[in-house]
Amino acid sequence: METTKTPDMSRRQFLSTVGKLGGGAAVFSVMGTLGLLSPETLKAADFTPPDGNELAMTKRNGKKIVILGAGIAGMTAAYELGLAGFDCTILEARARSGGRIWSVRRGTTVAEIGAAKQVARFDDGLYLNAGPMRIPQFHVTMEYIRKFGIPIEPFNNVNDHAYYYNENVGELSGKKIRKREAKADVRGYVNELMAKAVNQNALDMPLTPEEKEKLVAYLRSEGGLDADLFYKGTSRGGYKDEPGARLDAGVIRDPFSMKAIINSGFGNYLSSEYGYDQQMMMFHPVGGMDAISSAFEKRLKGKIKFHSEVTEIKQSGSGVTVSYINLATGEAKQIEGEYCICTIPLSVLKQIKADFSPDMKKAIDSIGYASAGKIGLQFKRRFWEEDEQIYGGNTLTNMDISSIYYPPTGYMQKKGLLLGYYAFGTSADSLGKMTFQEREAHALKQGAKIHPQYHKEFEASFSVDWKKIKYNEGGWVSYSGDQRQTVYPTLCKPDRRVYLAGEHISYVTAWMAGGIESARAVVTDIHERVMKE
């Protein structure tokens, strides 16, 4: 991409100024003139990695930085600061890197807080991405995937051949229907109503007759309406008898009644595909999300101290001392750095002794975390593909399990591992309270209402309740009320020599990209601060 560099302001500052003067249209126009491509490209362009020569030239090379946590934020910071000549050490309590990036495979064990040990007994090659499992194509995460040469494949976030299944919603209760059926019917009926209303001038709209005609043409196309603007079912919703060879023209399914479809609540599921960070295409690394954390770890050889549980953070005028226990040896140790980047989730950090300012302490203490839980179910046979022709995507339901995600990888292999539930909020809480065995039984019982094959084909499960996972204690940060205005700004500022980073220090919460963005902001700040010293 060719761009005209403006030496004394970043591209973004420049465009922001243009925007203030001329509005969004002016920004677009200037972007066009400059050969810039879209607002989406600006975020990545925001970060200019520190020049690796600057520190060396001022003989400040080797400044010691202590980083707490080898999740994606901590490793991004260590990676970028390392390139700039800083000497980083990451303390990581676990034996592995990645944090919430966690691909559960055969032999993976976990003891949730207050619960028994669970061992994954999946077959080799099958895995559960217990944490992040998909990446929007425009996220900064893709930059590192590109840089590190990590093989990726699409994550099937949309599949009209998968199902909706709701209970206690009237006529369609307890029926699994292909998503395409609900989509065709709800769009059909609503656009029929709308098209007729427009045609009869029943709506007050500031449109010319020609524009009204165009609107009706759109409504007709959107709803699959006939020439008289009636919705009578279309092939979009599928067939009761598929078309085939010779005279077999197929028979289109009969639409559900408008009342049935409205009461089903299925219509409300449609917009789950419209969310900015849920829209197709999405991607994931081949073989497990931890391909990303492993790629970072490989580039941080010798810089990560595993089994190192932080016990205290203490600052002086010239540095930060972090006390930790080596969990492998039981030894109490200390490490000093000129600066510290703390990526520990606030739910955990608030339990660690630290001499933060009272404001910072109060802020950390006040923040809540979201409940989230997943269960991986291994089956002998990929019946969703073999019997039901569903290749990836998800089925949505109003049962506790909320959703079933079919594996977006390994198509047509013999066995398969699907996500038996991915639950949030109160559903996640009630599932989380159960033992592993109870969760498995519950996921199988509810899932079998949609896939009776569950009973015969099930082999092994592994479940995770993020609130009960040590060193995380929550799925992702959850700011409530006016916390973004009140306490959040405190978290964003360094507390003397300690900087917070992680998805919780961003507006891209719950995504790896949030961790990366926040780490890059800290990298820039520390570099600038050291250069000014």
161-190 positions binding a second copy, by CB under 8 A: 161, 175, 178, 180, 183-184, 186-187, 190
Nearest CB to a second copy, comparing residues 160 and 429:
160
Q: Report the interhelical angle of 512-532 vs 141-148 (nearest 10°).
A: 80
Question: How many other CB atoms sit within 10 Å of the CB of residue 517?
Answer: 25
Q: Name which position in 43, 64, 445, 449 contacts a second copy (CB under 8 A).
A: 43
Please list every residue from 185 through 244 that binds a second copy, using CB under 8 A.
186-187, 190, 193-194, 197, 202-203, 205-207, 211, 214-215, 217-219, 221-222, 224, 235-236, 238-244
DSSP per-residue string spanning 255-278: PPPHHHHHHH-THHHHGGGTSTTT
CA–CA separation, 331 vs 328, rounded Å?
A: 8
Contact between residue 334 and residue 305 where contact means Cβ atoms under 8 Å apart: no
Please list every residue from 445 through 484 that binds a second copy, using CB under 8 A.
452-453, 484
Nearest CB to a second copy, comparing residues 218 and 471:
218
Least distance CB 45 / a second copy (angstroms): 10
Least distance CB 478 / a second copy (angstroms): 16
Least distance CB 151 / a second copy (angstroms): 9
- How big is the site for a second copy, counted in residues (CB under 8 A)? 117
Please list every residue from 11 through 30 that binds a second copy, using CB under 8 A.
12, 16, 19, 23-25, 27-28
- DSSP state for residue 123 in the 8-state scheme: P
Least distance CB 91 / a second copy (angstroms): 22
Instruction: Give SS3 for 12.
Output: helix
251-252 vs 282-285, strand pairing mode = unpaired
CA–CA separation, 186 vs 172, rounded Å?
A: 13
Q: Name which position in 51, 60, 61, 138 contacts a second copy (CB under 8 A).
A: 138
Any contact of residue 388 with a second copy (CB under 8 A)?
Answer: yes
Identify residue 516 by its one-letter amino acid code.
I
Q: Which stretch binds a second copy (CB under 8 A): 386-394, 423-431, 433-441, 459-467?
A: 386-394
Any contact of residue 64 with a second copy (CB under 8 A)?
Answer: no
Please list every residue from 309 through 368 that binds a second copy, using CB under 8 A.
none
Is the link from the previous residue into 281 a cis peptide, with omega within 30 of 0? yes
Contact between residue 420 and residue 379 where contact means Cβ atoms under 8 Å apart: no
Identify residue 482 by its one-letter amino acid code.
D
Q: Name which position in 156, 308, 371, 463 contacts a second copy (CB under 8 A).
A: 156
Least distance CB 108 / a second copy (angstroms): 27
Q: Name which position in 5, 8, 38, 301 contacts a second copy (CB under 8 A).
A: 38
87-91 vs 304-305, strand pairing mode = parallel
Beta strand residue intervals within 330-424, DSSP E: 332-337, 339-342, 353-354, 368-369, 372-379, 393-397, 403-406, 416-424
Any contact of residue 37 with a second copy (CB under 8 A)?
Answer: yes
CA–CA separation, 452 vs 445, rounded Å?
A: 9
Any contact of residue 438 with a second copy (CB under 8 A)?
Answer: no
Any contact of residue 49 with a second copy (CB under 8 A)?
Answer: no
Q: Which stretch binds a second copy (CB under 8 A): 33-41, 95-103, 342-350, 458-466?
A: 33-41
Closest CA to 427 of 370, 468, 480: 370
Contact between residue 65 and residue 322 where contact means Cβ atoms under 8 Å apart: no
Least distance CB 406 / a second copy (angstroms): 9
353-354 vs 308-315, strand pairing mode = parallel
Any contact of residue 263 with a second copy (CB under 8 A)?
Answer: yes
Nearest CB to a second copy, comparing residues 442 and 520:
520
Please list every residue from 499 through 518 that binds a second copy, using CB under 8 A.
505-508, 514, 517-518
Least distance CB 388 / a second copy (angstroms): 5
Helix (H) or strand (E) holding 531: helix 512-532
Least distance CB 463 / a second copy (angstroms): 26
Closest CA to 405 of 119, 176, 159: 159
Q: Which stretch binds a second copy (CB under 8 A): 54-62, 327-335, 389-397, 421-429?
A: 389-397
Please list every residue from 75 through 104 that binds a second copy, using CB under 8 A.
none
Q: What are phi and psi of 313, to 5 degrees?
A: -120, 125
Least distance CB 323 / a second copy (angstroms): 28
